[in-house]
Chains A and B, each alone.
Chain A
């Protein structure tokens, strides 16, 4: 086992260990806390629909990673929820574009809970009957998302932006795609992506890292990791269409304005991510001149927000919210981007926002959940937990200015959800 300890000036430290089979383990001890938050996850999400492993090239139905997450809760000896019910822990799981995570939080009986987590994630059990039943349940979940305008406005945008990348498809897939899933396919995906070299365990809270490492070492069944090659079909730099709309049961229009970034490598660095977050706060954050102007004109409300949305093979900047006039908001955002490109970044504003973000980064260490989730980001993106705080101390307005080039009008998509009728 390779083991490293990382320390930071904010009074926190954590251990990162890598087992010979490739499994990565992150542990941050908080001895003054009562609770623990633990995540066992895999770098496997909705975008991993085409891959090559053990010399075989495979293409699988959309939504299978999420389907697998649902099914993994059931083992031959009962489902995981029932096991956790005996300890009182809160347990859950989620699948996103690039990862699947199984988690629990507890304030008591941590070791038993960790045993449950380690055991069920390593014990797949799928039969034709249980798969069939799940198709019904997930079908309902997909329909629920169909009724969620905030979900639709985002996926309509992604589908208009990406021609080939699977990020354009709903995480849960479609009713048609999940119908193609069977037990055999689930085992194939499980055996590929749930191998230790592709997985991580992240734990924060009142724990003893040495004891945990011993336990994990003894519980991991697989000795050897396997290599996976993810196949990203070539994605054009441009978007498919610059405007898309849908009608839904909303009282006022919702919008999502995305800018597609032309990327040369699949992953974004921590510096790119921090600089882009700073840039978005400068363009449209709540102390920006644009935010004040849009509010004064009655064009946005508190729902307005922005994010840097990136993962393996995709990266874009997204502004979203509700507005009586989405096109006017989009125009003002583009004008503001052009103005900053022209006039440069307001140094005073940059300084205040940099400080604000530094404080935010420290604040996140209050929460064992936020720390564990951030360690998952580290495992997925290959960075370290204190990188952000460190980088925020040295980043300059010029570094941030350079990121402006990713925001190009001709690579933008405006997605709008309109009310069905005038009310």
Chain B
């Protein structure tokens, strides 16, 4: 395994991660833009409309037919939050030529298809076509409405909204229903232009080799575009502590309650300095050896699930749990007691070592998954030095109990969200 960067044009770089164990080649465009209420919905729709049709394949049946002919090449699209930025991801994965039943150049064809989807969409007179826009808007609105169906996901989303109200990180990554409804073929065209002009872009190839001319063709495609105001992706702010804990309760007709707690951490940033926060969170509520699992779930049976996670870039720690309404208060107290235990260093060497071993073991598997590697490097784009999963595992092995305690001490309860029955 090796990784290599190529600067293509200003703010656009190629990354080739050489890894020949896969039967497929994976290509992805990772596009970073500022998160703002005004543009979030337009940007969020772009990956979906761009991967559903193009000038050459004006409807998605034709496009999917083409993908099938390329032996089930698969297109992916998503919109994510990357700290205080919006990350648009589009990718294609295709089996390597040697597996085709006849002689064909699958990887080259797939790579040129991917490039054309991004640079040659089906637009006319400065607008995306109404039928395409309306289709994607409807799907996005249905997706937003559908979030309420999965209570676990919904409760977490509500916590983030409330905890970061008025801040970029509080903006929903797909936008609101109203914001999506306001999108037009024209605004979407403007967003597409803005994306090509000013987004920071990382184009990733994971496989045995870079497809012929792949990076050169992208460079050529950008030669007609004037790059300006390029997004500086290093500006994610941390999360400040709140003097009084914010408590929000929603009522719904549900059988089981959800309790989600958001904590702010003084240690933050997506570089290796904040790794102790990852371990502190993991000992608190990560694996089955963690405080929350062994005490709150197993010993006291207070929750069906109860686990903690962190977003190091933001200095955010969350605890998610499914509780009986009657147990919610007791569970909340117990969760905080377990955090205090970590702060006071009241965790065993077994818990500490289990956490390090578990995280390092899972980092050791990254090289066996193209998707994991692709996401890994997309989420590291703002780091001044790019580390591989093995590099990070080495750094984690050097973390001490003292580092963990000090990280835990900087964690403070910020917002509590409860979903209870009517």
Stretch at the interface among B32-40, B84-92, B137-145, B263-271: B137-145
Among the stretches B70-78, B167-175, B214-222, B240-248, the one at the interface with A is: B70-78
Check if A287 sits within 8 Å of B149, measured CB to CB: no
In the complex, residue of chain B having the shortest beta-carbon distance to the beta carbon of A138: B304
Instruction: Digitize B322-333: 1 where CB-to-A-CB distance is under 8 Å, 0 elsewhere.
Output: 101000000000
Q: What per-residue 1/0 map shows which CB atoms of B276-297 lie under 8 Å from chain A? A: 0000000000011100000001
Which residues of A are found within 8 Å of B158, using beta-carbon distances? none
A89 and B24 contact, Cβ closer than 8 Å, known pairs A291-B61, A302-B139, A363-B72 = no
B22 A301 Cβ-Cβ under 8 A:
no
Q: From residue 137 to 176 of chain A, which have CB atoms closer than 8 A to chain B?
A: 137, 140-141, 143-144, 146-150
A249 to B303, CA, bound (A): 21
Query: Which residues of the other chain, A, contact B131 by a CB distance below 8 angstroms?
Result: 296
| Interface check B182, CB cutoff 8 A | no
Of B113-121, B231-239, B335-343, B362-370, the stretch lying at the interface with chain A is B362-370
Asked whether any CB of chain B lies closer than 8 Å to the CB of A252, the reply is: yes
Which parts of A323-381 form the interface with B (CB within 8 Å)? 349, 352-353, 355-360, 362-363, 365-368
A287-B61, A363-B24 in contact; A303/B69 too (CB < 8 A)?
no
Of the candidates A205, A250, A291, the one whose C-beta lies within 8 Å of that of B149 is A250
Asked if residues A301 and B138 are in contact (CB atoms below 8 Å), the reply is: yes
A 102-133 binary contact with B (CB < 8 Å = 1; else 0) = 00011111000000000000000000000001
Which residues, 251 to 307 on A, are CB-close (under 8 Å) to B?
251-252, 254, 285-289, 291-292, 295-296, 298, 301-303
* Closest B residue by C-beta to A206: B368
Please report the C-alpha to C-alpha distance between residue A285 and residue B151 in the assembled complex, in whole angstroms: 29
Shortest beta-carbon distance, B102 to chain A, in Å? 10
Tell me the complex Cα distance, A328–B364, Å: 49
Roughly how many angstroms separate A422 CA and B252 CA in the complex, as a whole number?
14
Contact stretch, chosen from A78-86, A180-188, A195-203, A398-406: A78-86
Select which of A108, A149, A292 is within 8 A of B364 by beta carbon.
Answer: A108
Given the known inter-chain contacts A88-B354, A251-B148, please indicate yes or no for A107 contacting B361, CB distance below 8 A: yes
B254: CB under 8 A from chain A? yes
Task: Give the complex CA separation of A399 and B252 in angstroms.
Answer: 50
- The answer to whether A20 has its CB under 8 Å from any CB of chain B is no
Distance of A12 from chain B, by nearest CB (Å): 9
**Beta-carbon contact of A362 and B304 below 8 Å:** no
Provide the residues of chain A in CB contact with B149, threshold 8 Å: 148-150, 248-251, 254
**Chain A residue at minimum C-beta to C-beta distance from B26:** A366
Chain B residues closer than 8 Å to A368, beta-carbon distance: 368
Which listed residue (A32, A86, A250, A322) contacts B21, Cβ 8 A? A32
| B95 CB–A CB distance under 8 Å | yes
A6 CB-CB contact with B under 8 Å: no
Contact with A along B342-367 (1 / 0, CB 8 A): 00000000100010111111111101
CA distance A106 to B365 in the complex (A): 7
In the bound assembly, the distance between CA atoms of A367 and B21 in angstroms comes to: 10
A2 within 8 Å of B by Cβ? Answer: no
The answer on a CB contact under 8 Å between B361 and A366 is: no
How many A-B residue contacts, CB cutoff 8 Å? Answer: 190
**B68-A287 in contact (CB<8A):** yes
| CB atoms of B73 and A34 under 8 A apart | no
**Which chain B positions have C-beta within 8 A of A10?**
23, 99
**Does the CB pair B146–A303 fall under 8 Å?**
yes
Q: A353: which B residues are within 8 A, CB to CB? A: 68
Residue of A nearest to B134 (CB): A298
| Chain B min CB distance to A283 (Å) | 14
Min C-beta distance of B20 to chain A, whole Å: 8
Across-interface contacts of B322 in A (CB, < 8 A): 140, 144
Most buried by A among B20, B68, B72, B354: B68
* Residues on B with beta carbons closer than 8 Å to the beta carbon of A357: 72
Residue of A nearest to B356 (CB): A88
Known: A81-B289, A137-B304, A366-B24. A34 touches B65 (CB 8 A): no
A293 to chain B: closest CB distance in Å? Answer: 9
A362 contacts B68, CB within 8 Å? no
- Given A85-B288, A85-B354, A85-B358, residue A141 in contact with residue B145 (CB < 8 A): no
A137 vs B304: C-alpha distance when bound (angstroms): 6
Contacts of A108 in B (CB 8 A): 360-361, 364
* Shortest distance from the beta carbon of B103 to any chain A beta carbon, whole Å: 14
Check: B93 CB closer than 8 A to any chain A CB: yes
Contact indicator A133/B301 (Cβ below 8 Å): yes
Task: Please tell me if A391 contacts chain B, counting CB pairs below 8 Å.
Answer: no
Alpha-carbon distance between A10 and B100 when the two chains are bound, in angstroms: 10
CB of B59 within 8 A of chain A? Answer: yes
B289 close to A85 (CB less than 8 A)? yes
Query: With A362-B99, A366-B23, A420-B253 in contact, do A349 and B365 touch (Cβ < 8 Å)?
Result: no
CB-based closest 3 A-B pairs: A107-B364, A359-B71, A88-B357
**22 CB < 8 A contacts A-B:** A34-B364, A85-B289, A88-B354, A88-B358, A88-B359, A107-B362, A107-B363, A107-B364, A143-B256, A150-B150, A249-B151, A251-B146, A251-B148, A287-B61, A288-B61, A301-B138, A322-B146, A355-B69, A358-B72, A359-B72, A366-B22, A420-B253
- Residues of B near any A CB (own CB < 8 A): 20-24, 59-61, 64-65, 67-74, 93-95, 99, 101, 131, 135, 138-139, 142-143, 145-146, 148-151, 252-256, 287-289, 297, 301, 303-304, 322, 324, 350, 354, 356-365, 367-370
Given contacts A33-B367, A150-B149, A286-B60, 18 further A-B contacts (CB under 8 A): A30-B21, A34-B364, A34-B367, A85-B357, A88-B360, A140-B256, A140-B303, A143-B256, A251-B145, A252-B145, A254-B149, A298-B135, A301-B138, A302-B143, A358-B71, A358-B72, A362-B95, A367-B368
